[in-house]
Amino acid sequence: MLSESSLFLKGVLLGSVFCALITMLGHIKIDYGKRTHHHERHHLQAPNKEDILKISEDERTELSKSFRVYCIILVKPKDVRLWAAVKETWAKHCDKAEFFSSENVKVFESVNMETNDMWLMMRKAYKYAFDKYRDQYNWFFLAHPTTFAIIENLKYFLLKKNSSQPFYLGHTAKSGDLEYVSVGGGIVLSIESIKRLNSLLSIPEKCPEKGRMVREVSEDKQLAVCLKYAGVFAENAEDSKGKDVFNTKSVGIFIREAMTNHPNQVVEGCCSDMAITFNGLTCNQMYVMMYGVYHLRAFGHVFNDVLVFLPVNGSDND
Amino acid sequence: MSEIHFREMASKSWLNILTFLCGSAVGFVLCSQLLSILLEEQKDIQPSILHNDPHARHSDDNEQNHLEGQMNFDADASQHKDENTDIAEKLYQKVKILCWVMTGPQNLEKKAKHVKATWAQRCNKVLFMSSEENKDFPAVGLKTREGRDQLYWKTIKAFQYVHDHYLEDADWFMKADDDTYVILDNLRWLLSKYNPEEPIYFGRRFKPYVKQGYMSGGAGYVLSKEALKRFVEAFKTDKCTHSSSIEDLALGRCMEIINVEAGDSRDTTGKETFHPFVPEHHLIKGYLPRTFWYWNYNYYPPVEGPGCCSDLAVSFHYVDPTAMYELEYLVYHLRPYGYLYRYQPALPEKILKEFFV
């Protein structure tokens, strides 16, 4: 009996030592991994005010006008109310916004992609946009109708970025080794990226219409795979404090999380002042965000922004 | 014999091996559980982000009781570096507002706490009024009972308390609920055109029952110094009595009796600034059904949709704790860079003069 229990205890000891060793090794690997990931996981930051001030007044006016953002919103008939809300709210601030739907919907103007498959819709939309607008727009922003976007903050973020470089940015996530931009937070492509994408779309080995996986792979991951072949890599966009500017959650969710995780610093710990997108909004929340962002403010707080973006002509909703 | 012995030995050693493996499995599992708990705890320690609060630079403010800005604004310090708050600061000094928040013992931690963490800090002075005193929060004890029927009593006593202790500390006296969100900067802009020695009060004006109208309780209302004096005096001389438990209506009746004017709080484009509901209820067409009492109560023609609410809104009501912080974020943090707002109201004359002296 004694020898058995001592054997058991020896076993326990060995087991725990083994476990501790594995955990430590695992952590070292993760830490090391994190560090290398840090390098691999591309972060892109908003510009510094100092950089902008170096530009002359005239150049700044030219700069304001040099961002031409084309917005692609992928919709399905069931999204009709959100579609209407987006159309009446933030989409007006794109230099041009077009809705790409899976099928024709009465009363709503859209480009018919004639497919229910999200990846096919995305491919066709990018091809359409590139073929038609390659000379008129230099940045392409793709979103779902559950996303609210502040295009002015997008333009500010892109300030020092050259659109002839292959940019592919938004809120990134990882799937195994693949780093991709989550479609929920919105996807930004420079003209160079969309050009490269376009040339790959016709090569089924690189950019298949049907993923090679047995299970369905989401369209944002498929896009990342495709772009990788073209040497275009996903980058996570952050403000000067390291906060994400593209968000896959709504303000309400962030606030609720902050109230639980750091109740003494709810608003500070929440979200960037220069946030570009929030996702998961209801139709009503679109209008509330529009009011909250483009109207509601505190009197006597004046910002000396170096660029000016005028309100949209003839729009009454901002 | 030796064979049996051998088999015995073999089975015994199998048992030994099994025991050993069991032991190591148990040890492994226990250890991994322990480590995972320890490591989770490490992850939970958040770095605290503390920066200088530019909004609390009130150098001329000698108020002893001034509730210091507890909240540190700068999650993104460089953004606020672009921010010029001179005008807001000037108004803070010129238009002194004492806020008192109607709350109760049960709601201090549930609701009033979030008011305290957000807009209350922008009042020149803030008091939390409860039926019982709470030295820690801190909250003033009015020595009443709690309940909807006690609201007018609490209001009368609260104003009395403010009058007796803080009359000379402010120009305007604002009443709000613990589910009201108030944008003090915009209230100061509204009030800057008026003289606190005038008998006047502002809020969301309702038309029934009182000829000149009365102000919605939930949306909050603000009395001039003169109005406060007259109100308190009226109860001493029985000009006004505790006539009903409907707080806002009863107060409105009293105001009319003592010749305090019901002011027009709309902005220069005619949009309402005090709101009895959250933004969503006003901004969405059809949210409030046509049969709802609200449509018949509003003194001025009620508007739903984008024209409902001024850019310089002063208050919203029925704001739950989450929405308090959301509004705080939308008003004081998130903004569209470089955007030129359509509504650019002028600075009041009085303040302009101050600036160029």
Which residue does chain A place closest to B12, by CA atoms?
Answer: A4
Using the predicted structure, report yes or no on whether residue B77 has a pLDDT greater than 80.
no
Residue B74 in contact with residue B52, Cβ under 8 Å?
A: yes
For residue B150, name the pLDDT band (cuts at 50, 70, 90).
confident
At A206, the amino acid letter reads: K
- For B82-130, what is each residue's pLDDT tens digit? 789 999 999 999 999 999 999 999 999 999 999 999 999 999 999 999 9
pLDDT value of residue A244:
96
| Cα gap A278→B329, rounded to integer Å | 13
Strand B140-141 and strand B125-130: the pairing is parallel
pLDDT value of residue A40:
47
Using the predicted structure, report yes or no on whether residue B65 has a pLDDT greater than 90.
no
Put simply, whether B72 touches A (Cβ < 8 Å) is yes
pLDDT value of residue B262:
97
Taking contacts as CB-CB distances below 8 angstroms, the residues of chain B near A265 are 48-49, 71-72
Nearest beta carbon to residue A12 from set B23, B280, B345? B23
Nearest beta carbon to residue B49 from set A252, A269, A273? A269
**Which residues between 168 and 207 in chain B have a beta carbon less than 8 angstroms from any beta carbon of chain A?**
183, 185-186, 188-189
Contact across the interface for B20 and A7, Cβ inside 8 Å: yes
Put simply, whether B32 touches A (Cβ < 8 Å) is yes
Contact across the interface for B78 and A268, Cβ inside 8 Å: no
Contact across the interface for B337 and A155, Cβ inside 8 Å: yes
Contact across the interface for A16 and B27, Cβ inside 8 Å: yes
Q: What is the average per-residue pLDDT within B203-216? A: 96
Taking contacts as CB-CB distances below 8 angstroms, the residues of chain B near A255 are 322, 325-326, 329
Using the predicted structure, report yes or no on whether residue A43 has a pLDDT greater than 70.
yes
Q: Identify the sign of the CA torsion A117, A122, A125, A131.
A: negative
Cα A264 to the center of its chain, rounded Å: 29
Q: What is the DSSP string of B11-22?
A: HHHHHHHHHHHH
| Cα gap A297→B203, rounded to integer Å | 19
| Cα gap A287→B309, rounded to integer Å | 12
pLDDT value of residue B47:
32
Contact across the interface for B85 and A300, Cβ inside 8 Å: yes
Which residue does chain B place closest to A317, by CA atoms?
Answer: B306
pLDDT value of residue B346:
83
Residue A63 CB-half CA count within 13 A: 22
pLDDT value of residue A159:
86
Nearest beta carbon to residue B183 from set A294, A298, A306? A298
Taking contacts as CB-CB distances below 8 angstroms, the residues of chain B near A8 are 19-20, 22-23
Taking contacts as CB-CB distances below 8 angstroms, the residues of chain A near B72 are 265, 268
Contact across the interface for A23 and B35, Cβ inside 8 Å: yes
| CB burial of residue B106 (10 Å; 0-12, 13-18, 19+) | exposed
pTM here? 0.81
Put simply, whether B279 touches A (Cβ < 8 Å) is yes
> Is the preceding omega at residue B138 within 30 degrees of 0, hence cis?
yes
Instruction: Tell me the shortest Cα–Cα distance from A186 to chain B, in angstroms.
Output: 17
Kindly report which listed range (A203-212, A294-303, B77-86) carries the lowest average pLDDT score.
B77-86
Which residue does chain B place closest to A300, by CA atoms?
Answer: B88
Tokens encoding B11 = 């089975």
Put simply, whether B335 touches A (Cβ < 8 Å) is yes
Instruction: Tell me the shortest Cα–Cα distance from A64 to chain B, in angstroms.
Output: 9
Give first-to-last CA distance, chain B, whole Å: 118
- Residue A308's φ and ψ, nearest 5 degrees, are -120, 130
- Number of A:B CB contacts under 8 A? 263
For residue A35, name the pLDDT band (cuts at 50, 70, 90).
very low
For residue A119, name the pLDDT band (cuts at 50, 70, 90).
very high
Q: Is B79 helix (H, G, I), strand (E, B) or coil?
A: helix
Q: Is A147 helix (H, G, I), strand (E, B) or coil?
A: coil
Q: What is the DSSP string of A224-235?
A: HHHHHHTT---E
Using the predicted structure, report yes or no on whether residue B67 has a pLDDT greater than 50.
no
CA distances (Å), B138 to each of A159, B48, B103, B126, B132, in order? Answer: 48, 25, 12, 10, 11
Nearest beta carbon to residue A256 from set B39, B309, B322? B322
Put simply, whether B40 touches A (Cβ < 8 Å) is no
Nearest beta carbon to residue B23 from set A10, A49, A289? A10
Q: Is A135 helix (H, G, I), strand (E, B) or coil?
A: coil
Instruction: Tell me the shortest Cα–Cα distance from A138 to chain B, in angstroms.
Output: 20
Residue B223 in contact with residue B260, Cβ under 8 Å?
A: yes
Contact across the interface for A311 and B342, Cβ inside 8 Å: yes
- Residue entry with tokens 């105001």: B255
Taking contacts as CB-CB distances below 8 angstroms, the residues of chain A near B91 are 299-300
Looking at residue B139, the DSSP 8-state letter turns out to be B
Using the predicted structure, report yes or no on whether residue B242 has a pLDDT greater than 80.
yes
Residue A266 in contact with residue A258, Cβ under 8 Å?
A: yes
Angle at B331 between CA B330 and CA B337, to 5 degrees: 75
Instruction: Single out the residue of A200, A133, A195 nearest to residue A164, CA to CA.
Output: A195
Q: What is the average per-residue pLDDT within A168-189? A: 96
